[in-house]
Structure 1
C-alpha cells in the first residue's frame, strides 16, 4: 500500500491490463453470454453483437479510461470528483454519484452469486452431482439457496457460510490495495481462468456425440447454432437490444470501475492501446472460450430445442442446472473434475470483477474524506455485509432481481450516456480526443472521434428509451409481480434509495468540507 498522503499506482502495465480485463471478464462472459445467444437466435445474435462491440464497447472503453486517467491527475479515483473536473457545475458531482451507486449496488448481490460458484466447485469435486439430472438440479439449486428443502440441503446455512468466506476474501484483497491486492489477484486468477477455460474447450471440442443413439445431439450442432446466422431474424429489434445489453455486461462499462482503475495511471501512461487490449482480452474470453463451452456441450447432451428451453430460464438455469447435470452424467468421464474447473473458473471471473466494484467506493472515501485504506475498506464492508443479508434471505421474493434490473441493467446505460455526453460534449470532443491519445502507444483511428461524439450517444439514448418503455416502466409499475412479492420488491427499492441517498449526502459533505478547507 502507498505511504500516507501518496496515491497508489499500478506495479506493472501487465498487472493493470490483467486487472481491468479481470474487471470485464466476469460471470457475464461464461453464464450470461451463452444464454443471450441461445435466447436470441444463436448466429443471428452474433452479428449485432459485433456491431455494437465496435460502436459501443470499444468507444466506451476509451472514454472511461480517458475520464479515469484525467480525474486521477486531480487525485480523484471515483466518478463524482471526475465529473466535477469535467464540468464545473454544482450538479456534476451528483451525476457522478450515480456511478458509485451502481457499483455499490451490484457489488452487494454479485458477491452472493459469486459465492455460489465457489460452492458448486466444491460440490462437483465431492461428487454431489453424480445422481443429479437436469430435472432434479432445479431443486438442488433452490434448496442450496434456502428456497426449498432437500435431502442435500435442509437450510440456507451452507450458502450463507460460503457467502461469508467470499465476502471476507473480497475485502481482504481490497484492503491489500492496488498493487499488492487487486493486481496480485489478477496476475494469479486471470492466467488460471484462461488455462481452465482452454482445458474445458478442448474437452468440449473432443466430446463429439455423447449418446450415439441421438446423433443430432452433437457438439458440432452446438457450434453450428452459434456461428451459422439466420439472416431473416435480423429484422427483430429484440435481438439487437439484447446484443447491445450484453456489451455493457461483458465489458463492465457504465459502472465506474474502469474509471477507478485508470485513475491510478501516470499522466502520460498509455490508455489507447491498453483499453483496446483489455476489450480484446475480454472478447477472447467471451466469444472464443465462453461460446465454446456451455452451448455446445448442452446441445450435445440435451439437444438444441431443450438447450433453448433451458436458456429461457436464464443464466442460473444454464450455469447452475444444466452444467452440473452434464458433469454428473455417466457419458462424461471425469465429469467431477471438469465441473470443479468450470465453477472455479466462474469464481475467478467473479472475484476479479467484484473487487473492481468495491474500488470506486474505497477511492471515494480515501480521496474525498482522507480516510486511510483500512478505514475505507471497513466502512464499505459494513454497508455491504448489512445489505447482503436482505439479498440472501429474500432471494425467492425477487429482491435480487429488482436490484439487478435497476442497477445492473437500466442503470448501466443511463450512466454510460451521462459520461459520454459529459466527456465528448461538455468537456469537449477535441480535448477528450487529445486526452485519450496522449501518451498512447497507438493513435486511435480518427473515425472513432465521430463515433464517440455522435453515434455512441445516439445508440445509448435509443437503448435507454427502448428499455424504459418496454421494461423499466412495467417493472416500475409492478406489472406481472406476484402479490406476495410486492412488499419485498418495495423493500429492494427502499434499500436502493437509502444507498443512493447516503452517497448523495456523502458527496455533499465532502464538497462542503473542501470549501471549508479552501
Structure 2
C-alpha cells in the first residue's frame, strides 16, 4: 500500500481528528439537547449510542479513507471498484462542502461575540441579548464579514498542508480549548446553587426516558462525531498503516464525549444559579448564556467580563477545528481530482464556500429573496445536509462496508494487515462487523424516519 504525506505523530492523528469531531456540535448543540431531553438520562443514552453506533461508523470511515489513500470520493471509488457505490463518496464530499458554507456563518457569529465581549457590549437584560442576536443575524454586513474572516483563517491553515497546517494548528488549539473549558467549568461550578445544575447532569430521572429522548441521543451522537461529512474519511487517508483504527476511534470518541459533558458542566450550573430554564433550545449559547454570565458574575463584573470573553474564544476555537476538517474534505478533492496545487484548491474552496456563506447569512433577514417554502436559504442548507445527506451517507457507508466490501479487506484494515493478532482483536472484529451490518444501519434508519415523523 502506498502512502502519501500524512500526520507526523500519533498525537497529531488524535488531536486533529478529535478536532474534526469536537466542534459546535459539542459546545453548542449537546448542552441544549441535554437540557431539552432530561439531562442525565440523555447523557447515559448518548454515551451508549457513541459506543454502539459512533465508534463502529467512525472505524468504517477510517477503513475507507486509509485503504483509499486519497480524497473521500476517490477512496470510495477505489474500494468499490468503480461501481455505483462510488457515488457515496461524492455525496460525502458534497455534504462537507455545503456544510462548510453555512457552518462558517455560525462560527462568524462567535467572532462577533468575542469582539462584543471585548468591548463590553454583552451586558443588559434578557430582552437586550435577544434583540442583539436578532439584529446581528439579520445584519447584511457584519455576519458576512466575520464569515469571510473565519474562512480566511481556515484557508491559511489548510494551504500549509497536513503536517505544517492542520497538525500544528490542532496541537495548539485543542489543548487551548481544553484549558479554557476547564477554567469556565470551575468558575461555573463555584456559583451559588450550582449543585442543582450538576445534579441535573448526573442524577438520572428514569421517568424522562422516552422514545424521543432515545432517538434524540442517537441523532446527537451521529452529529457530534462528524460522521458522514467526509471529514473522518479524508483525515484517515493521512493515517499511517501502523495507526490502530479501533484505538484511535475510541480515543477520539472519549475526547469528544468528555468535551460535550464538560460543556454541560460549564453551562447548566451557571444556568441553574440564576434560574434559567435548562431547555432554552438552540438560543442557549447566543441569547441565554450572555445573560447567564452577566447575572451570575454580576457581583464581580470583571470576572463576568473575562468568563464571557473566554467562552466565546472557546466557542470560536471549537468551530474552527471543525471548519478546518470540513474545508480539507473539499480541498483534497479539488487538489487530486483536478490536479491542482494545494494553494489553488484551498483558494477555490474558500472563495466558493464564502459565496455560499454570504447568501446563507443574507437569507436570515437581510432579504426575502433568499427565502423559499417558508425557510431561509441558511435553514435549507442545514435541513438538507443535516437531516437528509448525513443519515443517508452514514447508512450507505455501513451497508457498503458490512455487505459489499470483502470481509478480508475489512479485516486487513481493522487488524493492520494481521499485525494485531490477539484473540481479543479477532473477537472485536466480529463484534464490529455485526454492529456495522445490522445495528448501525437500523439505528440510522430509525433516526431518519423519526425526524420526518414517519416513526413515533
- TM-score, normalised to structure 2, is 0.90
Give the equivalent residue in structure 2 for 1:251: 225
Task: Classify the secondary structure of the residue corresponding to 2:274.
Answer: helix
Task: Classify the secondary structure of the residue corresponding to 2:287.
Answer: helix
Cα contact 2:32–2:278 (8 A) shared by 1: no
Give the equivalent residue in structure 1 for 2:394: 416
Cα contact 2:14–2:252 (8 A) shared by 1: yes
**1:403 Cα shift?**
1.2
Task: Classify the secondary structure of the residue corresponding to 1:253.
Answer: coil
**1:448 Cα shift?**
4.2
Distance 1:270 1:466 in 2: 30
Give the equivalent residue in structure 2 for 1:307: 278
Cα contact 2:97–2:326 (8 A) shared by 1: yes
Give the equivalent residue in structure 2 for 1:169: 153
- 2:432 aligned to 452, 455, 462, which one? 452
Comparing 81-90 with 19-28, greater Cα deviation is found at 81-90
Comparing 111-120 with 378-387, greater Cα deviation is found at 378-387
- 1:233 aligned to 208, 212, 215, which one? 208
Give the equivalent residue in structure 2 for 1:378: 347
**1:119 Cα shift?**
1.3
Unmatched 5+ residue regions in structure 1? 147-154, 210-217, 475-518
Give the equivalent residue in structure 2 for 1:436: 414
Give the equivalent residue in structure 1 for 2:102: 109
Question: Residues 35-67 of structure 1: CA distance to partner in whole angstroms, max 9, x if unpaired?
Answer: 111111111212211211111111122222222
Matched, 1:119 2:112: yes
Task: Classify the secondary structure of the residue corresponding to 1:127.
Answer: coil
Cα contact 1:126–1:336 (8 A) shared by 2: no
Q: CA RMSD in A?
A: 2.2
**1:286 Cα shift?**
1.3
**1:446 Cα shift?**
4.7
Cα contact 1:425–1:453 (8 A) shared by 2: no
Give the equivalent residue in structure 1 for 2:121: 128
Unmatched 5+ residue regions in structure 2? 366-370
- 2:13 aligned to 8, 16, 23, which one? 16
Cα contact 1:100–1:360 (8 A) shared by 2: yes
Give the equivalent residue in structure 1 for 2:188: 204
Written as runs of structure 1 = structure 2, the 5 A alignment for 1:85-484 is 85-130=78-123, 132-146=124-138, 155-207=139-191, 209=192, 218-234=193-209, 236-287=210-261, 289-303=262-276, 306-308=277-279, 310-311=280-281, 314=282, 317-329=283-295, 330-331=298-299, 333=301, 334-396=303-365, 397=371, 398-438=376-416, 445-446=425-426, 448-472=428-452
Comparing 102-111 with 319-328, greater Cα deviation is found at 319-328
Cα contact 1:272–1:442 (8 A) shared by 2: no
What is the number of residues matched between the two proteins?
439
- TM-score, normalised to structure 1, is 0.80
Q: Aligned in 2, Cα 1:458/1:368: closer, same or farther, shift over 3 Å? A: same
Distance 1:32 1:198 in 2: 19
Question: Residues 302-337 of structure 1: CA distance to partner in whole angstroms, max 9, x if unpaired?
Answer: 24xx232x23xx2xx100011111222324541111
**1:457 Cα shift?**
4.6
Distance 2:420 2:312 in 1: 37
Matched, 1:77 2:71: yes
Q: Aligned in 2, Cα 1:241/1:331: closer, same or farther, shift over 3 Å? A: farther
**1:353 Cα shift?**
0.5
**1:141 Cα shift?**
0.3
Give the equivalent residue in structure 2 for 1:34: 31
Q: Aligned in 2, Cα 1:420/1:464: closer, same or farther, shift over 3 Å? A: closer
- 1:50 aligned to 47, 52, 57, which one? 47
Q: Aligned in 2, Cα 1:144/1:442: closer, same or farther, shift over 3 Å? A: farther
Task: Classify the secondary structure of the residue corresponding to 2:340.
Answer: coil
Question: Residues 62-105 of structure 1: CA distance to partner in whole angstroms, max 9, x if unpaired?
Answer: 22222211111xxx222x21112222243122221110111011
**1:430 Cα shift?**
4.0
**1:469 Cα shift?**
4.0
Cα contact 2:414–2:429 (8 A) shared by 1: no
